[in-house]
Copies of this chain bind each other. A is one copy, B any other.
Amino acid sequence: MNERVEREHTDGAADFGAVFESWREHMERALAARLPDAATVPERLHEAMRYSVLGGGKRIRPALLFATARTLGLQAAEVEAAACAIELIHVYSLVHDDLPAMDDDDLRRGRPTCHKAFDEPTAILVGDALQPLAFQLLARDPALPAAPAIRLRLIDILSEASGSLGMAGGQAIDLAAEGQRLTIEQVEDLHARKTGALIRASVLMAAECVPDLPRPQYEALARFAAAIGLAFQIQDDLLDVLGDTATLGKPAGADREHAKPTHPVIIGIEESQIRVRMLHDQALDALAVFGERAEPLRALANWLLSRRY
């Protein structure tokens, strides 16, 4: 690896760790306050919702939303409800993806998956109930100062990103692709839907909260999000190959076991690493229009792509 590039890409990543950690704590509180209490009927469902959402997770999508907000001059408190909405959608997708009929995973974030800790019907209902909660936050959460028309745009973006043309559709393509030979273009289309759509939504939902944002800035953020979303997914697939179960909090090598078509499987580890670096450069290039202001997004990108878990 080129030394100059290595330095450039990891500068600030260490310092940024503390900011990222403070956002995680912010999210833990924000989510805990918005989930129904475990003492509220139906108690077991609410307990399972809290188990699935709280006490773990890197909160990468909220971090992207917070970093975009900061780049655009917004406070974290102004977008925390939107960050909660996107994280609830992400968690519901994990709970359903882990189901026996889907990826059949027993471990998630180092703990038993929802259907293991509770039961399968409860896990289905946890996912089913987290979805409307996400949209309800965008519709009425008082912490979100956005005007009604902006709230509707946030709901529109999140619903599109999570539906059959976004995340849920990506999961359908992913399941159908198991054991199939896909081209790298097909794999990247799959990623753009399955994980890319929600990452893009995280960035664009923050952008929507600035009503008079110039179009070129909005488009620059969309380009940043597309590049970082794909780079993040390839990095994830690399970690699945290179990591170990204890660090990942889920079984290493699970993708190969499921015969999932991923970059490391199709183009090899080294080429995959090169692709991540190229996308990382594209992401940073897209931020040029913001100058110094985009430092939080740059630091987050560097942090995400140098992570080991």
Contact = CB atoms under 8 A, between A and B. Distances in A.
Given A49-B164, A102-B124, A121-B101, A131 B129 contact: no
B135 A168 contact: no
A205 to B, nearest CB: 13
Interface string A134-174: 01101110000001110111011011101111001101110
A132 interface: yes
Interface string A67-79: 0000000000000
A45 interface: yes
Interface in A81-125: 92-93, 96, 99-102, 120-122, 124-125
A44 interface: yes
Nearest to A122: B172
B101 A164 contact: no
A303 to B, nearest CB: 30
A256 to B, nearest CB: 20
A42 B125 contact: no
Identical chains bound together, number: 2
Contacts of A169: 41-42, 45, 125, 129
A173 B41 CA distance: 9
Contact of A158 (B49, B127, B132): B132
A175 interface: yes
B164 A139 contact: no
A44 B176 contact: yes
A250 interface: no
A269 interface: no
A45 B175 CA distance: 11
A230 B263 CA distance: 54
Contact of A168 (B99, B129, B163): B129
A46 interface: yes
A131 to B, nearest CB: 5
B124 A164 contact: no
A147 B159 CA distance: 19
A133 B102 contact: no
A253 interface: no
A251 interface: no
A100 B99 CA distance: 12
Interface in A40-65: 40-42, 44-46, 49
A12 interface: no
21 contacts: A36-B165, A41-B169, A42-B164, A42-B176, A93-B128, A101-B124, A125-B164, A125-B168, A125-B171, A129-B163, A132-B158, A132-B159, A132-B162, A133-B163, A135-B159, A136-B155, A138-B155, A139-B153, A147-B148, A148-B152, A151-B152
* 7 nearest A-B pairs in the assembled complex, by CB-CB distance: A148-B148, A136-B159, A132-B159, A129-B164, A101-B120, A129-B168, A132-B163
